[in-house]
Amino acid sequence: MKKLFNGRFSTLFSVLCLYILLSFVIRIVLLIWSVKDLDLNPIDILRAFFTGFVFDLTMGSLFLALYAIYLLVFPKRWTGSLFDQCFSYFYLTLIFIIIYFSLLAEIPFWDEFGVRFNFIAVDYLIYTYEVVENINQSYPLPEIGVVLVGLIVITFVLFKKLDIFKKTFSDKSPLRHRFFFALPVLTIAVVLGWGMKNKHADFSNNMVVSELGKNGAFSFLTAFKSNELDYEIFYPKLPEKEAYSMVKKDLLQENQEYRTAAYDDISRLTTGNQEQKPNIILIAIESFSADFLTEFGNKDHLTPNYGKLSKESIFFTNLYATGTRTVRGMEALTLSVPPTPGNSIVRRPDNQDLFSVSTIIKSKDYQPYFIYGGDGYFDNMNTFFGGQGFDIVDRDRGNPLSDHIKTQRFAIPDNEVKFENAWGICDEDLYNQSIKYADINAKANKPFFQFVMTTSNHKPYTFPAGKIDLPQGDRNGAVKYTDYALGKFIADAKTKPWFKNTVFVIVADHCASSAGKWEINIDRHHIPAIIYNLPDQKPTRINRLTSQIDLMPTLFGYLGWSYTTSLYGKDINQMKIGEERAFIGNYRTLGMLREKVFTQIDDRKRVKQFIVSGNEKQTLSEIKTKDQELASQTISYYQTASVRFKNGKMKAK
């Protein structure tokens, strides 16, 4: 053991021990940070820390594997030479940059998402402009750089003071002795690096415990490799005909009939009554949790405008988002499909010409617009929306549309922007674009449909000065500004001749946070939605359980439309009592809430069921004896949706 820190490999083993120690410290910090969401089971916490140690050892060995090979094969007669020292210092500097940056970055990532690095972190590598700008605007970047450099310098000074480098550059052990020290590191890197999977930490229903048992850098590599999950390989399945039979039985409304008798054809003819064709503006508000509203217990009076509108609207009080990211909200609102595992369909290849809300809208002679205040290249938004026939209105930072997209793109000019941050223009400027294109379409006497995606309620939480009485850089301030801008937009729209014939659907894309005690935290998916200014419709509260995928089909029902649909969403007003359900997922874990039972499936082919109790702060209690019918219904929805996209059956005919 003494030779580990007194010979050629002294630096390598010192770095490995330092990495394991720092990873342990970060794990302690994250535990304290999330103690309110922990199930304080000592056995589970000890298991998480032991599992975490194995992950840390594995990742540290992977970091140092190349250096171990170098120390093994580098001729002993050149030990301590200028090249030897230069290579060692260069390699170790790179490793320390990666180690310190990844460990420090885990803290704000955990603060925002409540998990270790995942697909989101991978996305952040791809969309560098938005992310670098967001980091620059959200955090003191120069200070972070100084801290990073300082940590590396301190580490080198400490190693030098302890004579660790001196031992590395003076020991001239023969190859057979060096092999004895290199072998364990390389064995761990190869065997555990190949054999360890993130799912080995998923032994608890408590998400915090499971995430504590992981390693951030290892989780990042896992997410990078498995950007999409094949449902048929990883998830519980039913025989295909049985799955479709269950889905088709559950999807059919009383005002619908199936177009064909084919077992895998879910397209239905919907019969409406007294059809209306108003303009439609669908506003997806960034990270707009239900608990920001006074209606749901908030005491800070952040959303007076949304609250006022809700009293004049059809107000959905029991609506649940399908996911935890904007692209999931977009998927739910446009494709009306359960959240299939892995990445949102918005971000996947071959996602053009799908049967979507746009297919129905265009059949009614509307021209759909996607209006976004940032560059729609981010998260593949423009490719997705353009592929469904939307004209694009965005900031256009020079990222062209894909060649197969035939719709138009309109850049938001600089002279129409009063305020902008990393994610895009402020909500006021965005709503001005909505009004601009509404004016253009109204003048041409053509009904319009707009999907407007806001960004102001997003870190760094900055917005135009002098609008509200809360500070910049604060989540509550961003929420209050978002509400202010919405109120101003509706007031401005009321001055327009097209307002009387325009319906506004105003809904969140997802909640502000999904972190909590359980793998899926149902209360962190609770979002508000209203349908405002519907012709001849009295204000109504819909307290029935509703999925985000049901919102647009419900609107079409209010409008009395007859249309063909292959959407998974249903009109809430056509559902019988007890048929209501909500689909909720978070990349790998998927579920369906029906009445007070939440059925959960995951990529280890497990099926679990929980009784949901409580109102705003919901708790889950696992059911030992499963309701097999509910389990099969849950599987059938996710299985058929995943297979339909994979096999091209989601395409519009």
Tokens of 280: 């439609």
What residues contact residue 299 under an 8 Å CB cut-off, 6+ apart?
none
User: What SS3 class is residue 116?
Assistant: coil
User: What SS3 class is residue 82?
Assistant: helix
The whole-number pLDDT of residue 339 equals: 95
- Weakest mean pLDDT among 160-174, 244-258, 294-308, 534-548: 160-174
Spatial distance between the Cα atoms of 282 and 531, rounded to a whole number of angstroms: 9
Calculate mean pLDDT across residues 369-381. Answer: 92
User: Using 50, 70 and 90 to split pLDDT, how confident is the model at 4?
Assistant: low
The whole-number pLDDT of residue 38 equals: 80
User: Using 50, 70 and 90 to split pLDDT, how confident is the model at 419?
Assistant: very high
Residues present in the chain in total? 653
Spatial distance between the Cα atoms of 305 and 436, rounded to a whole number of angstroms: 22
User: What backbone torsions phi and psi does residue 82 show, to the nearest 5 degrees?
Assistant: -60, -45
- Weakest mean pLDDT among 209-223, 232-246, 463-477: 209-223
Spatial distance between the Cα atoms of 93 and 153, rounded to a whole number of angstroms: 9
User: Using 50, 70 and 90 to split pLDDT, how confident is the model at 516?
Assistant: low
The whole-number pLDDT of residue 10 equals: 94
Tens digit of pLDDT for each residue in 605-624? 899 999 998 766 778 899 98
User: What backbone torsions phi and psi does residue 461 show, to the nearest 5 degrees?
Assistant: 60, 45
- Which domains does the chain carry? 2-225 (no CATH), 240-646 (3.40.720.10)
The whole-number pLDDT of residue 219 equals: 87
User: Using 50, 70 and 90 to split pLDDT, how confident is the model at 461?
Assistant: very high
Closest CA to 28 of 100, 106, 121: 106
Between 619 and 138, name the one with better pLDDT.
619
Q: How far apart, in Å, are the Cα atoms of 243 and each of 7, 131, 603, 613? A: 63, 41, 18, 29
Spatial distance between the Cα atoms of 281 and 453, rounded to a whole number of angstroms: 11
Does residue 233 contact residue 626 with C-beta atoms inside 8 Å?
A: no
Q: Is the peptide bond before 460 cis (omega within 30 degrees of 0)?
A: yes
Residue 39 has pLDDT above 80, yes or no: no
CA dihedral 48, 51, 55, 58 (to 10 degrees): 160
The whole-number pLDDT of residue 383 equals: 93
Between 537 and 614, name the one with better pLDDT.
537
Residue 361 has pLDDT above 60, yes or no: yes
Q: How far apart, in Å, are the Cα atoms of 114 and each of 27, 127, 459? A: 13, 21, 15
- Percent of the chain whose predicted confidence (pLDDT) is above 70: 94
User: What SS3 class is residue 52?
Assistant: helix
- Weakest mean pLDDT among 284-288, 396-400, 576-580: 396-400
